[in-house]
Amino acid sequence: MKEFFETTTHPPHPRSLPKAGGRREGRSPASRAPNKIILAIIVGALIIGGAIYFSGQKDKSFVKEQEQAKSCEDVPEIPDNSLKLATKIIDGDTFIIEGGASVRILGIDADERGYPCYDVAKNRLEELILNKEVKLEKGTEDKDQWCRYLRYIFLPASAEASAGKDDKNISLELVKEGLAVARFSPEDVKYSSEAKGGKERTFFDYREEITQAEKEAKESKIGCKWSASAPPGGASEEPSAGVLTWEKLTSELTGLKVIGACQAGNYYDKEAIVEGKIADGYRSKTNTVFLNLEKSYPNQCFTVVIFSSDQYKFVESPEKFYATKTVRIKGEIKEYQGKPEIILETPSQIEVGK
């Protein structure tokens, strides 16, 4: 296709053509007409072909979005502030309600299976809500890509409680006890800022309360996440140690500390090696590649960013190549919209575990 474009879209300039016998050779309008028609046909074909190609790319994106939406069609809508029975606890921030649907608790992030605070956070959530009716308050989005309801969870103070003023905010409770960290998506942060100052209770209030509770728990070294005996962030520094091998990005070779992806938020403005599994990848409209570690957007623990200007140095389609792989990322950890990230400029900054 590249050769086709090069040979058809730029015909030679008339002055670059050889002149027979050193004289200018004239042509009649009739002799020039077929060439003009052929050129018009070629240009028209290129325009139509390009339109079809780019339309196909948009269609693929649209189909993917439609398939995602269709996959959640079987999950029924539930009214905001509904009371539902919690029937099973998955971990410290996810549970099942009557009917079998999953709920992801907003405002927090608790350890996944295999991390030190997983059991204690899960057990505490069981104590708080298992086999009890909880109120589900909707955030800015209804469901995530796994069709889980995204909700702030409240335990009514009494059977008659409905206004929510005395209800127990489960996110706040888990963060206060040092069993989860505060986590808000950029969308909720934006919505919260717009809602600030309103007369009614808003998401801003939840964000402010929960982040303040995290600060106090951290300063007081409360709970599994922040106690003196727990590693930074409440999870192991090298979650895959003894399972995967690394040839380049190690503490011994670089002199840098290796930390888990979910602990990167404790090392802002410091150079380190971040390890974690790629949960999802995305290419934006500006051709920037984002790789999210441990959890998918917007609940990712850590993000890797590759700008379009540097992508020629990397493998083709990094968002596909690194999908589901456990990697190590080297660089200075920066904060963007409340989440830690490292910007990759060279392939030497990333390594896949073997």
CATH number at residue 279: 2.40.50.140
Whether residues 271 and 318 share a domain: the answer is yes
Whether residues 268 and 192 share a domain: the answer is no
Indicate whether 50 belongs to any domain.
no
Whether residues 252 and 140 share a domain: the answer is no
Indicate whether 258 belongs to any domain.
yes
Whether residues 103 and 167 share a domain: the answer is yes
Please answer whether residues 151 and 137 qualify as being in contact, where contact means their C-beta atoms are separated by less than 8 angstroms.
yes
Catalogue the long-range contacts made by 135-138 (C-beta closer than 8 Å, 24 or more residues apart).
135/81, 135/82, 135/83, 135/164, 135/167, 136/78, 136/80, 136/81, 136/82, 136/83, 136/84, 136/97, 136/103, 137/80, 137/81, 137/164, 138/80, 138/81
Whether residues 123 and 207 share a domain: the answer is yes
Which of the listed residues 226, 256, 291 is the one where a domain comes to its end?
Answer: 226
Whether residues 251 and 197 share a domain: the answer is no
Q: How far from the centroid of its chain's Cα atoms is residue 77's Cα?
A: 24
Give me the residue label for tokens 């005996």: 229
3-state secondary structure of 249: coil
Domain region containing 271: 236-352
- Looking at residue 167, the DSSP 8-state letter turns out to be -
Residues with Cβ within 8 Å of 87's Cβ and at least 6 positions away in sequence, in order, are: 95, 96, 97, 98, 130, 131
Whether residues 101 and 137 share a domain: the answer is yes
224-270 pLDDT, tens digit each:
988 865 544 444 444 444 457 889 999 889 999 999 888 888 899 99
Identify the CATH number of the domain in which residue 220 sits: 2.40.50.90
Q: Looking at the DSSP assignment, which residues form a beta bridge with residue 91? A: 94
Tell me the pLDDT of the chain averaged across its residues: 78
Q: Is 175 left (phi over 0), alpha (psi -120 to 50) or beta?
A: alpha
Where is pLDDT greater, at 44 or 300?
A: 300
Structural domains in the chain (count) = 2
Distance CA 103, CA 118 (A): 17
Distance CA 327, CA 352 (A): 4
Whether residues 175 and 278 share a domain: the answer is no
Q: Note the pTM of the prediction, 2 decimals.
A: 0.53
Indicate whether 22 belongs to any domain.
no
Whether residues 86 and 173 share a domain: the answer is yes
Residue 6's pLDDT band, with cuts at 50, 70 and 90, is very low
Whether residues 208 and 138 share a domain: the answer is yes
